[in-house]
Amino acid sequence: MAVIEAKGLCLDFPYYHIGARSLKKRLMGKSRLHTDPSNRIVVTALRNLTFRIGTGDRVALVGPNGAGKTTLLRTLAGVYEPVAGSLTVTGQIGALIDVAAGMDTESTGRENVRLRGLYRGLDDAACDRLAEEVAEFAGLGDFFDVPIRTYSAGMGVRLAFAMATAMQPQVLLMDEWFLAGDAAFMAKAEERLARLVGGADIMVVATHDFAVVRRWCNRAIRLEGGVILADGPVEDVLGGLEATA
């Protein structure tokens, strides 16, 4: 049983390089910026978020640029640590957020896949099978055996997608651009993605695309300025957003 539970979740980003007093003064009028006890400017990216996401929930995080969608996704994935409140995620997480997250750019595609397999507790033979499976789906040919720092952006997405979808997570966290690969690849990826989403207990996707929300989700959380403005069935939340557009 997978569950995500947040209570009063807050996250700040400190701005280390903003020192000039006049600039500070100018910025401080803005509602999301304040100073911390060390007199650094911090932006409040997420403020006092409380929600529970349970098995069967397919949640879209929606809202304008800078609303906090990706930050929340990364916090759920454990990339960022909340500065206040609590967050509990029960269930194995699969994150399709940053292409290079958890990858060693000096290692080859194959080495990265094997490492991920070892991390998940697979034995040597299972890691080999996983690498073959990923290689076939990603379709990178010989590039699978060169360091990934040489990959194009599209090649990186292919590898990350193939890798992340080769192992079924209970909690699937996804940024929308993973749904926006090149057309030929996405046609092939669609079925695999549907299987992955269907097999996950929980899915959370950050997106601007209402078609994606309507197609994949049964619940939406609307964020703005780092706070939750609405949380409920997709049509209720999108209706509110469309009304303000």
Ligand X SMILES: Nc1ncnc2c1ncn2[C@@H]1O[C@H](COP(=O)(O)OP(=O)(O)OP(=O)(O)O)[C@@H](O)[C@H]1O
Chosen residue from 6, 9, 41, 45 binding ligand X by CB under 6 A: 45
Cα angle for residues 3, 45, 8 (degrees, 5° grid) = 45
CB 52 within 8 A of CB 46: no
- Burial (0-12, 13-18, 19+ Cβ within 10 Å), 230: middle
CB 77 within 8 A of CB 95: yes
Cβ 42 to ligand X shortest distance, Å? 9
| Choices 65-73, 114-122, 177-185, 214-222; region in contact with ligand X by CB under 6 A | 65-73
Number of residues that bind ligand X (CB under 6 A): 12
Q: Is 97 in the site for ligand X (CB under 6 A)?
A: no
90 binds ligand X (CB under 6 A): no
109 binds ligand X (CB under 6 A): no
Least separation in angstroms between residue 195's CB and ligand X is: 27
| 222 is a contact residue toward ligand X (CB under 6 A) | no
Phi and psi at 51, nearest 5°, equal: -165, 160
The residues in 153-212 that bind ligand X, with binding defined as CB under 6 A, are: 206
Query: Of the two residues 131 and 228, which places its CB atom closer to ligand X in the complex?
Result: 228
The reply to whether 47 sits near ligand X by the rule CB under 6 A is no
Touching ligand X, residues 70-89 (CB under 6 A): 70-71
CB of 57 to ligand X, least distance (A): 20
The alpha carbon of residue 207 and the mean position of all alpha carbons in its chain are separated, in whole angstroms, by 10
Binding mask 5-34 for ligand X (x = CB under 6 A): --------x---------------------
What is the maximal distance between C-alpha atoms in the chain? 61
Question: According to the binding rule CB under 6 A, does residue 62 interact with ligand X?
Answer: no
* Shortest Cβ 184–ligand X spacing (Å): 26
User: According to the binding rule CB under 6 A, does residue 43 interact with ligand X?
Assistant: yes
Closest CA to 95 of 120, 111, 78: 78
**What CA–CA distance (Å, rounded) separates 207 from 240?**
16
Angle between the N-to-C axes of helices 183-199 and 153-164, in degrees from 0 to 180, rounded to the nearest 10: 20
State which of residues 68, 109, 117, 169 lies at the interface with ligand X (CB under 6 A).
68
Strand order in the sheet with 202-206: 93-96, 171-175, 202-206, 58-62, 219-224, 227-232
Interacting residues toward ligand X by CB under 6 A? 13, 43, 45, 63, 65-71, 206
